[in-house]
Amino acid sequence: MNPVINGPLYAVVPAAGIGERMGAGFPKQYLSLAGKTLAEHTLNRLLSFAPIDRVLVAVSVQDPWWPTLGVSTHSRIATVSGGAARAESVRNGVTRALELGGENAWVLVHDMARPLVRLSDIQNLLDQTDSQGAILALPVVDTIKQADDGNHIAATLDRDCIWRALTPQLFPARALHDALQGDLAGITDEASAMERVGRRPALVAGHSDNIKVTVPEDLALARFYLACQLGDEENML
Ligand SMILES: Nc1ccn([C@@H]2O[C@H](COP(=O)(O)OP(=O)(O)OP(=O)(O)O)[C@@H](O)[C@H]2O)c(=O)n1
Ligand SMILES: C[C@](O)(CO)[C@H](O)COP(=O)(O)O
């Protein structure tokens, strides 16, 4: 294990969203993908990654579906209350990680909505992090345009230094806990909270199949990528 990670490692899984952009009528983490819910795919992968001590899942207090999942009773899973925003859900999970693991605990924050994360990418994240923490991300390959108020092009950005953030995002629990205090408006990932307090997390290249299932067409894409990962030619078509 990377000596920088000098304490227990907890996965913190924000899973208290309502999936508004998916429009399924229920939270998207309970949509089915190849016979299992997105939540089960995500949790099965995290639970199979040995360096993770426990998985702390932030669940909405109004979520009737969570207890129906068999995995919800797994001995290495604990729940915390989700918040009104993703960052609040994460803050609750990180607080629990500190309570469980003490001041040397580290947290690996991963969206429940990203069911196809590769364990090899998570391992790379652990191997490559430094004391600032690290996130999985991907260099953008398209030309990036900045829009003006009228949705016309205001500028073309230098894409050579533009990456899009994925999850997991890996940080010392205490540092992230403290960075997540106060106003969380505009904090859409853990790295932005850490940047706000002067940290410069490392960027670790992941894979484009680590998609966040967000809008309806993402489900077909997830089905395709899962088939690719499983070498299931029949379902790749
Ligand atoms: N208050 C919230 C909002 C989101 N999430 C979680 O954060 C992850 C990424 O968020 P997103 O993709 O935006 O999910 P939703 O908020 O459900 O989607 P939408 O914005 O379309 O409602 C998801 O696993 C979601 O469950 C959370 O734990 N608590
Ligand atoms: C954390 C994240 O997945 C990194 O890209 C993203 O910021 C989550 O955004 P969302 O609007 O909460 O889905």
Residue 237: the pLDDT is: 66
Has the ipTM of the complex gone over 0.95? yes
Instruction: Please write the tens of the pLDDT for every residue from 15-62.
Output: 999 999 999 999 999 999 999 999 999 999 999 999 999 999 999 999
Tokens 């790749």 map to which residue?
A: 236
Classify domain 9-236 at the CATH superfamily level. Spore Coat Polysaccharide Biosynthesis Protein SpsA; Chain A (3.90.550.10)
Atom number of ligand 1 nearest to Cα 112: 24
Q: What is the mean pLDDT of the chain?
A: 97
Q: What is the value of pTM for the model shown?
A: 0.98
Q: Residues of the chain with pLDDT > 70: what percent?
A: 98
Residue 104 confidence class, pLDDT cut points 50, 70, 90? very high
Q: Is the link from the previous residue into 168 a cis peptide, with omega within 30 of 0?
A: yes
Which listed ligand is nearest to 16 at the C-alpha?
Answer: 1
The domain segmentation of the chain, as residue ranges, is 9-236
**CA dist 16 to 13, 39, 93, Å?**
9, 11, 12
CA 155 to ligand 1 center in whole angstroms: 30
Distance of CA 47 to the CA centre of its chain: 14
**DSSP string of 14-65, one letter each residue:** EE----TTTTSSS-GGGSEETTEEHHHHHHHHHHT-TT--EEEEEE-TT-SS
